[in-house]
Amino acid sequence: MVVFTKAREKLMRIIADHKIPLLEETFGRFGEVRRLASTDLKPSAIKNADALLVRSETRVDADLLQSARVRFVGSPTIGVDHIDLPFLRRAEIGFSNAPGCNARSVVEYVLTALCNLAHSQGESLIGRTLGVVGVGNIGSRLARDATRLGLRVLLNDPPRQREEGGTKFLAIEDLLDCDFLSLHVPLTRGSQDPTHHLFDQDQIGRMKARATLINTSRGAVVDNRALTRALESHQIARAVLDVWEGEPQPQVDLIRLATIATPHIAGYSSDGKLRGTWMVFQQFCRHFELDAESIELPQLSPPRTPVIAAGSLGPGAGASAEWCIQDAIQRAYPILRDDARLRETLAVEESARAHYFRSLRANYPPRREFAAFQLGAEFPSRARQLLTSLGFKDSGSSGSERA
User: Using an 8 Å Cβ cutoff, are 59 and 85 in contact?
Assistant: no
Looking at residue 403, its pLDDT comes to 52
pLDDT, position 400: 39
Class of the domain covering 103-261: alpha beta
Q: Cα separation of 113 and 119, whole Å?
A: 10
Do the domains at 6-97 and 103-261 have one common CATH topology? yes
Q: Which residue out of 9, 32, 57, 247 is catalytically annotated?
A: 247
Tell me which DSSP letter residue 33 carries: E
Residue 231 pLDDT: 98
Instruction: State how far the alpha carbon of 75 is from the alpha carbons of 143, 231, 271, 318, in Å.
Output: 27, 36, 16, 45
Angle subtended by helix axes 381-389 and 137-148, to nearest 10: 170
Map out the domains of the chain as residue ranges: 6-97, 103-261
Query: How do the pLDDT tens digits run along the chain, 403 residues long?
Result: 334 444 344 468 999 999 999 999 999 989 999 999 988 999 999 999 999 999 988 999 999 998 999 999 999 998 888 999 999 999 999 999 999 999 999 999 999 999 999 989 889 999 999 999 999 999 999 999 999 999 999 999 999 999 999 899 999 999 999 999 999 999 999 889 999 999 999 999 999 999 999 999 999 999 999 999 999 999 999 999 999 999 999 999 999 999 999 999 999 999 999 999 999 999 999 999 998 777 888 889 899 889 998 874 444 444 488 989 999 999 999 999 999 999 999 999 999 999 999 999 989 999 999 999 999 988 888 999 999 999 999 975 433 344 5
Amino acid at 337: R
Does residue 197 have an active-site annotation?
no
Is 264 a residue of the active site? yes
- Asked if 54 contacts 41 with a C-beta cutoff of 8 angstroms, the reply is yes
Q: How many CA atoms lie within 13 A of 222 on its CB side?
A: 30
Domain 6-97, second-level architecture: 3-Layer(aba) Sandwich (3.40)
Helices 103-121 and 321-332, interaxial angle, to 10°? 130
Question: CA nearest 372: which of 304, 311, 317?
Answer: 304
Query: Based on the number of CB atoms within 10 Å of its own CB, is 29 exposed (0-12), middle (13-18) or buried (19 or more)?
Result: middle
Question: Model pTM?
Answer: 0.89
Catalytic annotation, pick one of 55, 160, 264, 341? 264
> What distance in Å separates the CA atoms of residue 156 and residue 142, rounded to the nearest whole number?
13
The one-letter code for the residue type at 301 is S
The phi-psi region of residue 391 (left if phi > 0; otherwise alpha if psi is between -120 and 50; otherwise beta) is left
From the candidates 160, 218, 341, 384, which is the catalytic residue? 218
Biggest CA pair distance of the chain: 68
